[in-house]
Structure 1
């Protein structure tokens, strides 16, 4: 194990932070911030391979498939975070994007000893969630060698799923099971081995890009507006009406009427107002265009 760790980029001591324990708070934060600035540039170089992953996710969604994130510790929590934000933001079914973590949901808030060391637990989670060749599975691990994640990736591959790796080291064992691996190598951490820092941040940024891109491409966004959000609380109800306002420029009374007639469905309300149709016709137009607002409007609007 010592030999393996010594070879990982994420486990190297950082030359520029050797004396960080002698600095004041502002100086420590300046060092951390300087390192964080490197992350976006590293990810920019990976956009072609991240886009390739997004294309697979889009294809799966269009066929009724699902996206699963598999991770342990920080990586598992980041996957769960991204997955849990999709239903309120894009109105997706909670089963569409799911995050699995070694040790189960309890591991979200506390460490479950030994869970990440079990390949068998990873395999069992894949089996219990009925993963098939319709799904995409993204294994996430800073080291690229977490047994739980590798076991899950191996089983997912055997089940016929599209398997993709996301790690923060080059040439990891993930390559054996993945169609391809996104290698977000962002250098040693400010605190040696603390991969919740740059490695974790890079993972979060990449998952943001993946699901945002996929949701745009399946019609969950009109212009740059989240038109499929689920207005499940007062803040989101206000946001929903504001989105209708920004999309249509209609007055408040017309927005209120369309919002209620559409059953609080933002897309339908927008099409009603911009295409001058009833709620029923707007819903039919959206169904005929796979939920794409712009295409639905174009069907009724002279070009």
Structure 2
């Protein structure tokens, strides 16, 4: 971490010809965008030139919707990196792949290794290097493991860097958005905060900053009862077919957008189930491709979009959560809260303040809300040299933990998680296809080939696989699976009961709570 921070400092000394690029797929790509934007704002505040850029597989559409097919394309990854860094003489590339598995990132790392005169690659992930994905990438001689092996050799002379602490299993198996996402945020913020500081990068400074996140985690979970109440409210809304809306300000609002966007691929949710809106919309976002509103309703992200398209149909069965801090325009928060309260009493708030800095209008907001989680941060929480920036990072980290708990808990209430498995995940790229096949093996006890056969039957909605289907490319299977609802539940019930696909669909219609349908099938089998 110290050495990478020093490399960032070299970039800061020559902003004209140098660049830092953060890149990833899905959650990792969204966090790459989030942190690159935040780091640039902080650099401008410190009178540095902004030097950070981001790449996300699938482009800016992937900030709000599932675009997982591009994750499988290493050539596309390399081309995106080449485009964003065109003309630069020194590039520090930070590729994030929590499971050391994304072909898109592997292609970018390989590109860096082939151009060492310009690029220094940094890989952030949370598996040991020997567990990097060994499966061949279609149409390519690379594997993620082969790229990591080359990086390990170069790391001995600090020409490449691996930052891969082992985190252990996620609470929801296979979903790296929680621990993996939080750890990504911590590691990169520690590195960049150290590099932005005008004092030397030291071991103790890095350690102190790391420990401040541990305190922030403990402080956040000291509010577990209030967070649980939010989780239950959101869960009740989803259970009765209604929605949850996050209305946020500043970077806390952006975290609401990110959390909401992760629910569709993780839980097989509809984009209406949990939605995020941020004050200022795309002006606040500052993304590469600008305003995407015309691309469809899921790209409508401003408070005005909420007022025009969502507020008129809100009822008490919907849940609205306000996300803000005392440094935001609390008058604006109060005005929006009053408008929401006219439509639903099911309005809640998560509010951050520093001890002694309470906003005057907060009492009014408390009266409008069914519940308010007030995070009052002690003054000593901001005593690190990075000051205001560190305080904001803590609030963001705390908000991410809260939102992950609310959205995950709500989908557990809805029955979208079986044991600790994402039973209704979308099968939209090779990683998720393999994950679905392994999950079917684990739950059914059937062989790998039988599970893949059932998965294909569910994707193609047939009882018998034709030769064309059996020999179809993985890419084609993934494309078709996007249009099929409940692929994994369909395949599992098919395996456990031997029923036809029509009978399986009928069973799931009779028991729409996926977890309960799975439990019934497993008991009877």
Shift of 1:248: 1.8
Q: Say whether 1:269 aligns with 2:491.
A: yes
Structure number with the bigger relative contact order (C-alpha 8 A, sep ≥ 6) is: 1
Runs of 5+ in structure 2 lacking a partner?
1-196, 288-301, 460-480, 482-486
Q: Distance in 2 between matches of 1:238 and 1:108?
A: 34
Match of 1:92 in 2: 269
Tell me, in whole angstroms, the C-alpha distance in 2 between the residues paired with 1:196 and 1:267: 41
How far residue 294 of structure 1 moved from its aligned partner, in angstroms, is 4.1
Partner SS for 1:182? strand
Mapping 1:47-58, distance limit 5 Å = 47-58=224-235
Mapping of residues 47-196 of structure 1, within 5 Å: 47-109=224-286, 124-131=304-311, 132-133=314-315, 134-143=317-326, 146-147=329-330, 148-169=332-353, 173=362, 174-187=365-378, 188-189=381-382, 190=384, 191-194=386-389, 195-196=391-392
Q: Is this contact kept in 2: 1:286–1:293, CA < 8 A?
A: no
Q: Counterparts in 2 of 1:227-266, with a 5 A limit?
A: 227-263=423-459, 264=481, 265-266=487-488
Alpha-carbon spacing, 1:100–1:79, altered in 2? closer, same or farther (3 Å): same
Deviation at 1:145, TM superposition (A): 5.4
Moved more, 71-80 or 276-285: 276-285
Q: Distance in 1 between matches of 2:419 and 2:439?
A: 10
Query: Residue 57 of structure 1 contacts residue 214 of structure 1 at CA under 8 Å; is this kept in 2?
Result: yes
Q: TM-score, normalised by structure 1?
A: 0.81
Q: Shift of the alpha carbon at 1:103? A: 1.1
Q: Give TM-score, length-normalised by structure 2.
A: 0.49
1:284 matched to 2:514? The reply is no
1:278–1:160: structure 2 CA closer, same or farther, 3 Å change rule? same
Aligned positions, number: 276
Unaligned runs of at least 5 residues, structure 1? 1-19, 111-121
Q: CA deviation at 1:156?
A: 0.9
Q: In the TM superposition, what is the alpha-carbon distance from 1:143 to its structure 2 partner?
A: 2.1
Aligned mates of 1:123, 1:24 — CA distance in 2: 41
Q: CA 1:60–1:27 in structure 2 vs 1: closer, same or farther (change >3 Å)? A: same
